[in-house]
Structure 1
Amino acid sequence: MTVGGVIVSGGRTSRGDRADGGRGWRLTSAHTAAVAAGVVLLALGVLAGRPDVALVGVPGLLAAAWGRSTRPGGAGAPRDEDGDPHGTLHEPEGTAAPGELTATLRLTTPPNAADVVHLRISAAGHRTTEVALAARPRSEQAQPVRDVPLRLSSVRTGPQETFEIDVRGSLHAVWEQEPTQVGGTRRLVLPAAGPLGRLPLPRRLRGLTGPHSARRLGDGAELRDIHPFTPGDRLRRIDWRTTARRSPDLDTLYVRRTYATAEATAMLVVDSRDDVGPDLRTWRGYGTLRVDEPTSLDLARHAAASVARALVEAGDRVGMEDLARRRRPLPPASGRRHLRRVLHGLALAHPTQRASVHRVRPPQVPADAIVYLFSTVLDDEPLHLVRTWRAKGHPVVLVDTLPDVHRATASHLRIAWRIARMEREDRLAALAGEGVPVVRWAGSERDRAAVRFEALARAAERHVPGRTGAP
């Protein structure tokens, strides 16, 4: 957690309860200690006949008496909440970019209200930070306003908790204010998209135009063959050189036939039924996940965002389905605005109470579409989905999003993870034996994912000449 940078926007404030009839001020422990020390020294000096000892306690008593008389706003003066130091947390509107969350704490310190403002800043997964700031000079007529920029670093995506701040004013180290709680809202952090090259595509392409060459005849740039002219062929496609060579008398005209261009359709299926981190102790739902270690759902969001951007930039259509939510899927479309909708849907993907309910049937996939399944493969549900889609003729690419698990210290956790790991390896081996490509997206293997996708795309080209296809 860092205090730095400046961003001002809209936000909300919640104030703490007042313990002194709306004034919210109390004497500090320093004042009590000064009074106690002065009384003790004065009593010892009188009893022992030591005036020098008694005089040592007099300054502490005088300082305590003077500080008590300088109550914020004056003795008996009525005050309201706006007359005390308070803060308002301002956060940027909309979604946030991954890696960093920013906000601005606006402190308002009226004249004669406080000389020091204490802040206690906390956030989920971060250490609590305490800051003491000097208030503005009390000679100012207008209410001094001070902006304290805040920055929070995290690799997590999706809904994230932001800052919780306690504001407390102090005057002459004698009076201290009851803490005022300033709370932030939940922020939605969109996943970042990494660079990818070519990706596996479905065997059949749809549409009358697009960036890829289909297997049917039509307008395109890739030559299919030279064929005699037939009714319906366009005159501009006549190949006069071939006609002159094969039919010098121009008895037969020859035309150049090409492959039609089309676009691919892909469905991104995110298995958000569970969200596990590298620490096995947090898999039971207890404990706090670290903000510097991505979870399986963070990896799934990042992988799906990378695949979606690569497909959209190539001119293909992309849709999205969330296995944990029983809602209508995001239909396939293309364009930058649709990519923004896909990223927003990925950020909203999270486990729900109904996530453990078994689906009666797999999500519906458009015809001639390839399926990218992002899952940890910790149960048999992904196998059921993959086999059903492949039985209907849809090619499937499984992206493994389980993070690198840390070695457990407890023996029962090591045994449980060993059993779960062997079951998971059996599922992955079964999918690989059925011809389903598996791409690992965790740790150092994430950097090699683009190479793996490129190899799958090239392998498909060897099986389907003339166009890019899927394995």
Structure 2
Amino acid sequence: MPNWSPRRSVTRGLGEWEPTAAHQRAVVLAAAGAIAAVLGRRPDLLVIVTPLVVAAAWGQLARPRTDVTGTARLGETTLREGGVTGLEVSIEPPLDDVHGIVTVAQAPWVERKPASGIVPLDDGTASLGLRTTRWGRRRVGTVSIALASTWGAFRAGPVDLPDLLTATLPVPAAFDAQAPTPHPRGIVGLNRSSRPGSGTEFSSIRPFHPGDRLRRIHWPISMRTGALHVTSTYADEDAHVFLLVDCFSDVGPREGIDGRPTSLDVTVRAAGAMSEHFLRTSDRLTLRTVGAAKVPVLGTGSGTNHLRRVLDTLAAISPATDRRDTGEQAVRGIDPMALCLVLSPLIEPATVGLAHRLASRGMTVVVVDTFPEHLVTDPTNVYESLAWRIRLLSRDAEVHSLRLRGVPVVPWRGPGSLDLVLRDIARRASAPRMTRR
């Protein structure tokens, strides 16, 4: 989908005005009745068909002579899950004494208001409300327009307009982390570095050197020693975060934003929440996917604009569209000092092997378990619950193998999910290590 883009407005001609079956029937019956009344000398028949003659003549005289064009326009083409937008339908030029109706077909994950999707054209315009209930790139239901002239004598349409395209961005789940991101070594950020510099966290008190700022002079020590001393701080730097999203499967009932999430729903919303957190703390972020085809390649970036690009990339995911993906392309060229967060329900063994591969390169890897618990707590289907229990036994063995290698596996619980593990990683990075000499 690299060339995919939302489509806000579509236009199409409604074709020529054609007589309706009712108008043709009125003409035929009126002519037949008039001929029968004259030949049979039956004035009563002429009186009976007079209304048909009037309707047929009136409809023919009021026939529209202008070709009409229908236009459908969306208020917003990029929404969040649960967001609402308006659909405006109009005809050009607007015609008097012309009645019309607009129909919007049912589309997956799009709710219509009114629920029937049928609204009349008043003064050449009609409006509907649309609510999107699940992330992704999709088509709005087909818009169809039909017009009828006076007495329903002539019609234009119904004509289906080209599909409108929208992008629904995932709503990031609630997430916050108080622990610092490990391995900061950028330029500007909020994470404490291991080297001294201009920052906010206290490091030590040292003698004054030329170039030190006067506001950092520590007067109590300076007065006691008779020599100027200043407070030194650790530098504040940004870190590099690498998010790897598992798209091999989408397990669970797809109920949208108003229902229970699938495994991919949890994964995508967790990725959006983490991206929002790290990018708003001035860290650099790289997002890659595995198991999904035609997902745009997103480079490393930071800031609010990069967050929007990340959410657009997440919305482009189609699960299990590349089952042969080994993930080698996704992890190519990653900074060895980056914090690697693998978001996966740990159902596909290929993702577990990919986490092992990243850890074997000496990178800091954390696996975020996004398996939804409600899949195994449903008591209505005994056989499905038994099958999940058997699958979870092998899954526990795979998780245990990751932990034996030193890769922490953290279940996704929203805010604070990564605090403990990030503190342990930062503590381990600052601990002394044995080296050979």
Q: The TM-score by the shorter chain falls in which range?
A: 0.7 to 0.9
1:90 is aligned to 73
Deviation at 1:239, TM superposition (A): 5.1
- Within 5 Å, which residues of 2 pair with 1:58-97? 62-71=50-59, 74=62, 79=65, 81-82=67-68, 87-92=70-75, 95-97=78-80
- Within 5 Å, which residues of 2 pair with 1:221-236? 221-226=200-205, 229=207, 234=212
Letter in 2 for 1:70: W
Task: State the SS of the aligned residue for 2:299.
Answer: strand
Residues of 1 paired with 2:48 and 2:230: CA distance? 107
CA contact (8 A) 2:75 2:85 kept: no
CA contact (8 A) 1:26 1:178 kept: no
Say whether 1:160 aligns with 2:129.
no
Deviation at 1:302, TM superposition (A): 2.1
2:21 corresponds, among 15, 23, 27, to 27
Provide Cα deviations, 1:181-224, integer angstroms capped at 9, x if missing partner: 12332112223334432265553220354312222333333333
1:264 is aligned to 239
Task: State the SS of the aligned residue for 1:103.
Answer: strand
1:102 is aligned to 86
Residues of 2 paired with 1:108 and 1:408: CA distance? 57
Say whether 1:427 aligns with 2:406.
no
1:283 is aligned to none
Q: Classify 1:462/1:64 alpha carbon distance in 2 versus 1 (closer, same or farther; 3 Å).
A: farther
1:312 corresponds, among 255, 267, 279, to 279
Larger mean Cα displacement after TM superposition, 209-218 or 374-383? 209-218
TM-score normalised by structure 1 residue count: 0.69
1:285 is aligned to none
Q: Classify 1:241/1:80 alpha carbon distance in 2 versus 1 (closer, same or farther; 3 Å).
A: closer
2:417 is aligned to 452
Say whether 1:375 aligns with 2:315.
no
Deviation at 1:71, TM superposition (A): 3.3
CA contact (8 A) 1:209 1:260 kept: no
- Within 5 Å, which residues of 2 pair with 1:183-262? 183-198=162-177, 201-226=180-205, 229=207, 234=212, 241-242=220-221, 245=224, 256-262=231-237
1:393 is aligned to 362
Deviation at 1:330, TM superposition (A): 3.0
Larger mean Cα displacement after TM superposition, 151-160 or 403-412? 403-412
Residues of 1 paired with 2:178 and 2:293: CA distance? 27
Deviation at 1:122, TM superposition (A): 1.4
CA contact (8 A) 2:182 2:426 kept: no
Letter in 1 for 2:106: A
Deviation at 1:380, TM superposition (A): 0.8
Letter in 2 for 1:358: T
2:36 is aligned to none
CA contact (8 A) 1:194 1:306 kept: yes
Letter in 2 for 1:66: V
CA contact (8 A) 1:28 1:176 kept: no
The Cα RMSD (Å) is 4.4
Deviation at 1:151, TM superposition (A): 2.0
Task: State the SS of the aligned residue for 1:220.
Answer: coil
1:51 is aligned to none
Q: Classify 1:201/1:435 alpha carbon distance in 2 versus 1 (closer, same or farther; 3 Å).
A: farther
Letter in 1 for 2:351: P
Q: Classify 1:72/1:202 alpha carbon distance in 2 versus 1 (closer, same or farther; 3 Å).
A: farther
- Within 5 Å, which residues of 2 pair with 1:170-181? 170=148, 171-173=150-152, 176-181=155-160
Q: How many residues align?
A: 404
CA contact (8 A) 1:275 1:350 kept: no
* Structure 1: segments with no counterpart, 5+ residues: 1-8, 40-54, 137-144, 280-288, 442-447, 467-471
1:4 is aligned to none
Say whether 1:149 aligns with 2:127.
yes
Task: State the SS of the aligned residue for 1:66.
Answer: helix
Deviation at 1:310, TM superposition (A): 1.1
1:13 corresponds, among 11, 14, 24, to 11
Residues of 2 paired with 1:243 and 1:134: CA distance? 83
CA contact (8 A) 2:104 2:143 kept: yes
Residues of 2 paired with 1:415 and 1:30: CA distance? 66
Residues of 2 paired with 1:271 and 1:349: CA distance? 10
2:104 corresponds, among 121, 131, 143, to 121
CA contact (8 A) 2:369 2:410 kept: yes
Letter in 2 for 1:394: M
CA contact (8 A) 1:318 1:333 kept: yes
Say whether 1:345 aligns with 2:313.
yes
Larger mean Cα displacement after TM superposition, 431-440 or 208-217? 431-440
Letter in 2 for 1:91: L
Q: Classify 1:433/1:198 alpha carbon distance in 2 versus 1 (closer, same or farther; 3 Å).
A: same
Q: Classify 1:303/1:134 alpha carbon distance in 2 versus 1 (closer, same or farther; 3 Å).
A: closer
Letter in 1 for 2:289: D
Q: Classify 1:409/1:63 alpha carbon distance in 2 versus 1 (closer, same or farther; 3 Å).
A: farther
TM-score normalised by structure 2 residue count: 0.73
CA contact (8 A) 1:269 1:374 kept: yes
Task: State the SS of the aligned residue for 1:183.
Answer: coil
CA contact (8 A) 1:218 1:259 kept: yes
CA contact (8 A) 1:439 1:452 kept: yes
Residues of 1 paired with 2:383 and 2:23: CA distance? 49
CA contact (8 A) 2:177 2:416 kept: no
Residues of 1 paired with 2:342 and 2:368: CA distance? 6
Task: State the SS of the aligned residue for 2:80.
Answer: coil
Residues of 2 paired with 1:341 and 1:130: CA distance? 32
Provide Cα deviations, 1:80-117, integer angstroms capped at 9, x if missing partner: 532xxx53111246533332343211245754663x32
Provide Cα deviations, 1:311-369, integer angstroms capped at 9, x if missing partner: 12212211211223588853333222222222222222334743433344761321311
Deviation at 1:255, TM superposition (A): 5.8
Residues of 1 paired with 2:275 and 2:190: CA distance? 16
Letter in 1 for 2:74: E
Provide Cα deviations, 1:401-449, integer angstroms capped at 9, x if missing partner: 44544959888866655554444444345445555444445xxxxxx41
Q: Classify 1:419/1:30 alpha carbon distance in 2 versus 1 (closer, same or farther; 3 Å).
A: farther
